[in-house]
Amino acid sequence: AQSVTQLGSHVSVSEGALVLLRCNYSSSVPPYLFWYVQYPNQGLQLLLKYTSAATLVKGINGFEAEFKKSETSFHLTKPSAHMSDAAEYFCAVSEYGGSQGNLIFGKGTKLSVKP
Amino acid sequence: ETGVTQSPTHLIKTRGQQVTLRCSSQSGHNTVSWYQQALGQGPQFIFQYYREEENGRGNFPPRFSGLQFPNYSSELNVNALELDDSALYLCASSLGLAGVSGQETQYFGPGTRLLVL
Contacts of B61 (CB under 8 A, 6+ apart): none
Read off the amino acid at residue B71: N
CA distances from A51 to A33, A96, B58, B76 (A): 7, 9, 23, 30
Please say if the pLDDT value at position A97 is more than 80: no
Q: Which residues of A41-63 are buried (b: 16+ CB within 10 A; e: fewer)?
A: eebbebbbbbbeeeeebebeeeb
Whole-number pLDDT of residue A54: 83
* Predicted local confidence at residue B84, as pLDDT: 97
pLDDT tens for chain B, residues 1 to 117:
568 999 999 999 999 999 999 999 988 888 899 999 999 899 999 998 988 998 888 899 999 999 999 999 999 999 999 999 999 999 999 887 654 455 678 889 999 999 999
Question: What residue type is assigned to position B62 of the chain?
Answer: P
Is residue B115 helix, strand or coil? strand
Q: How confident is the model at residue A99 (pLDDT cuts 50, 70, 90)?
A: very low
Identity of residue B96: G
**Contacts of A54 by beta carbon, 8 Å cutoff, 6+ apart:** none
Q: Which residue of B has its CA nearest to A96?
A: B102
Closest partner residue to A100 (CB to CB) among B48, B107, B110 is: B48
| CB nearest to A49's CB, from B33, B97, B105 | B105
The reported pLDDT for the residue numbered B102 is: 57
Residues B117, B112: Cα–Cα separation, whole Å: 16
Show which residues on chain A lie within 8 Å of chain B, measured between beta carbons: 4, 31-32, 36, 41-46, 49, 51, 90, 92, 94-108
**Segment A19-78, tens digit of pLDDT:** 999 999 988 777 888 999 999 888 899 999 888 778 899 999 999 999 999 999 999 999
Chain A residues with CB inside 8 Å of B106's CB?
A: 46, 101, 103
**Cβ–Cβ below 8 Å for B102 and A49:** no
Q: What does the pLDDT read at residue B27?
A: 85
Tell me the C-alpha distance between B69 and B24, whole Å. 10
Q: Residue A96 — very low, low, confident or very high, per pLDDT cuts 50/70/90? A: low
Query: Would the CB atoms of A104 and B45 count as touching at under 8 Å?
Result: yes
SS (H, E, C) A35-87: EEEECCCCCEEEEEEECCCCCEEECHHHCEEEEECCCCEEEEEECCCCHHHCE
Nearest chain B Cα distance for residue A74, angstroms: 16
Q: Is pLDDT at A101 greater than 90 in this prediction?
A: no
Closest CA to A89 of B8, B6, B42: B42
Whether B109 has its CB under 8 Å from any CB of chain A: the answer is: yes
Interface of B with A in 11-70 (CB under 8 A): 31, 33, 35, 40-45, 48, 50, 55-56, 58
The reply to whether omega before B8 is within 30° of 0 (cis) is yes
From the list B42, B14, B8, B29, the residue with the least C-alpha distance to B92 is B29
